[in-house]
Structure 1
Amino acid sequence: MRRAVEGLGTPYPIGTLLPGILQEDPLLMQWMAAFDEVLAPAISTLDCLTAYVDPLLAPSDFTRWLAGWLGAVLDENWPPERQRAAVAHSVRLYRQRGTTEGIRALIELVTGGDVEITDNGGVHWSATPNAALPGEPGAWLTVRVRIPRGTQIDAAALEDLIAAEKPAHVTHRLEVVEQ
């Protein structure tokens, strides 16, 4: 059974909402105070609801829940501030998903490094109907991540992230460079 939060009061005591004649009964007021103690955490949560849905203010466990709600993938090994940033930027990143700019922004967010993406132009499109596609056949991109010397990067996880974010027909190569 979940216990009430010790010392947490409520700004809306139920006993004060009763008619004046009933507020004079000490037993009834103690009984109402017990309800106040049980309801105080729920009232506090509702009063602070905007903070719970702000990834920069929400408790850590709630930030992970928000990530799942928004479809953001978090690595539990990331520091909390990086997880919060990933959730905060997830909608913008989702709009850019599959583009070189979106991949660059996501990898910079994940690694904290400087990211350079080179592609052959096969991932571009044309507004002109029946126009030749730019670049060479066979789309590819190279992702070069420059990180500070001594920084640990899980290259396999980064490969998986790039594979999930880029268009399926585009091949890629990852280069991690320590500066």
Structure 2
Amino acid sequence: MRLLAPLFLAAGLLVTDCASRDNPAPKTRSDAPIPLTASFKVEDYRGKVLLLNFWATWCPPCRGELPDLVRLHRDFDAGKVAVVGISIDDRGTPEQIQTKLRQALASYQIDYPIFFDNKMELYQAFGSFQAIPTTFLLDGQGQVRKVYEGARSYADFAQDIQSLLDSKKEEG
């Protein structure tokens, strides 16, 4: 885990503005572009337990755990726990991938933040892992506490999230 710390720090420093300033009309979730990971900052989730899920639309196990991730997002207090999806889709043009991601948002009723790692920078910052889905559980200080390679169930994630929340109560 200590080896991931520099990578995690690098991931947190990936900061640029990917929002389109040329389009004055607000977009709905279904037609808005999926933000790029360049706009993702771990610091935005400081103080919260963060479940960071790397996935792809073409990956059956990834799609299989999406309902559990949606449920986790809805069941845990948003002030204490955040679920974030990072798409590492690489099959198709950026426009085709954006379309596939928007379709997944609608099909699975995903209401937690999703980012598209179009340059694989966040993937590399987190160690270029081999299995997907791969999910990182981070504590409120941004430290990686657990890495899940492969799909997991609601119960697996919920138990570990609750353990981190309980340990935070004991400390504070």
Mark yes or no: TM-score above 0.5.
no
TM-score normalised per structure 2: 0.22
- Comparing both chains, which one has the higher relative contact order based on Cα–Cα distances under 8 Å and sequence gaps of 6 or more? 2
